[in-house]
Each structure stands twice: as C-alpha cells, then as structure tokens.
C-alpha cells in the first residue's frame, strides 16, 4: 500500500485535477463531460479523491440510483481513475473500499458497476442479470455488468436501473 495516502470527499477546488486524471487514465475516451456533470450534480453523487503529497492521484464516484418498479436503494460505481504512474499500488482498491463504507452508511444495499470483471471480482462483484442497464449494452460488454451486495440486503426488484440525469446519455452505455 502506498504511503501517505489520504481519502476524502472531493471539493470544488479539486475539479481540474480530477478532470486531468480522466484525460490521463482514459486516453481513448472523453469522460470529462460526465465527470463535470457528476461533480456538479449534488447530494446524489458521492465523489472521493485519493490525495498524496497534496496532489489528487485517484478519484471514484458513486451515484445513488433506484430500480424501476421497486424501492431499492442502490448505487452505481463509476467512474474510477488512478494516475497511470501509480497503478497497481492499491489506490483503486482503497477508494473502492472507502466508497463501500460510505454506501453502507447511506443504507445502500447493492452497488452496480460496468467494468472489467478481472478487476471488480476482487471486491465481490458478480455478473448481474436481474437488474438491467438503462440502455441495452453491446453484446461484448454483457459480462461487464456486475453487482455486489454490501450487507444482507434483499435482492433488488428485477427491472431497469433508474439513473439520474448525468447517466442519461445513451452513448455512456452503448459505445
């Protein structure tokens, strides 16, 4: 584990450093518009940064969501990025685990993610087929849609994940 790493909620003054992280960590994708919308979205988004030597070296977002037709309190984990020169030193895992603690405090029972199972399975994520994405995923991404129960929460109602506005852009789910 990297030394002197501090995890805290992001502040408005972190925005430029957070955006830079996504430019560096995702050279082929422009996640900056999504990140800006999430940072401005207010209390339904939990945004945490990892800080080392006063520099933001990692960021994770969680968005509170629902499931259409049910009353489930669930969340979507995304996005997540770490400074490329500091990959594989435990920063991503530290942010995921810190986020889970906050989700449990907020009484969130299930967290969903669209990501690489090779990475997310270590946190207990498993393929999800009852709750579906807001838009149909391309066939090659289907195994990437996963969920984890944070405590002995009831399995969510079957239905489509109901997401707030920053997640309404179809391209986030289909390309």
Ligand X SMILES: CC(C)(COP(=O)(O)OP(=O)(O)OC[C@H]1O[C@@H](n2cnc3c(N)ncnc32)[C@H](O)[C@@H]1OP(=O)(O)O)[C@@H](O)C(=O)NCCC(=O)NCCS
Task: Tell me how far, at minimum, the Cβ of 87 lies from ligand X, in Å.
Answer: 4
What residue ranges bind ligand X (CB under 6 A)?
25-26, 80-82, 87-93, 115-116, 118-119
**Nearest residue to ligand X, using CB?**
92
- Give 1 or 152: the residue with its C-beta nearer to ligand X: 1
Residue number with CB closer to ligand X (52 or 160): 52
| Shortest Å distance, C-beta 55 to ligand X | 15
Q: How far are the Cα atoms of 29, 75, 82, 167 from residue 19, in angstroms, in the given order?
A: 12, 22, 11, 17
Choice between 2 and 155, CB closer to ligand X: 2
Closest CB to ligand X among residues 71, 85: 85
Minimum Å distance from CB 88 to ligand X?
Answer: 4
Q: Say how far apart CA 75 and CA 106 lie, in whole Å.
A: 10
Beta-carbon contacts of 24 under 8 Å, excluding residues fewer than 6 positions away, are 81, 83, 84
Please identify, using beta-carbon distances, which residue of 94 and 103 lies nearer to ligand X: 94
Please report how close the Cβ of residue 28 comes to ligand X at its closest, in angstroms: 10
Beta strands in 106-172 (DSSP E): 110-114, 126-127, 131-132, 145-149, 159-162
- In the complex, the smallest distance separating the C-beta of residue 65 from ligand X, rounded to whole angstroms, is 17
Q: Which residue has the tokens 């690489």?
A: 116
Question: Rounded to an integer, what is the distance from CA 62 to the centroid of its chain?
Answer: 5
| DSSP 8-state assignment for residue 13 | G
Q: Note the residue count of the chain.
A: 175
């Amino acid at each position: 584990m990297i030394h002197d790493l501090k995890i805290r909620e992001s502040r408005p003054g972190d925005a430029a450093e957070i955006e830079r992280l996504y430019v560096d960590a995702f050279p082929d994708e422009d996640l900056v518009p999504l990140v800006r919308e999430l940072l401005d979205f207010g209390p339904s988004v939990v945004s945490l940064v990892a800080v080392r030597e006063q520099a933001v070296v990692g960021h994770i977002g969680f968005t509170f969501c629902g499931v259409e037709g049910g009353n489930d309190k669930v969340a979507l984990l995304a996005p997540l990025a770490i400074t490329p020169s500091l990959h594989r030193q435990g920063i991503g895992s530290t942010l995921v685990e810190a986020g889970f603690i906050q989700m449990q405090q907020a009484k969130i029972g299930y967290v969903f993610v669209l990501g690489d199972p090779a990475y997310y399975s270590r946190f207990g994520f498993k393929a999800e087929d009852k709750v579906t994405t807001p838009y149909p995923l391309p066939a090659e991404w289907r195994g990437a849609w996963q969920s984890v129960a944070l405590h002995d929460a009831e399995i969510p109602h079957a239905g489509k994940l109901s997401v707030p506005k920053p997640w309404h852009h179809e391209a986030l789910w289909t390309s």
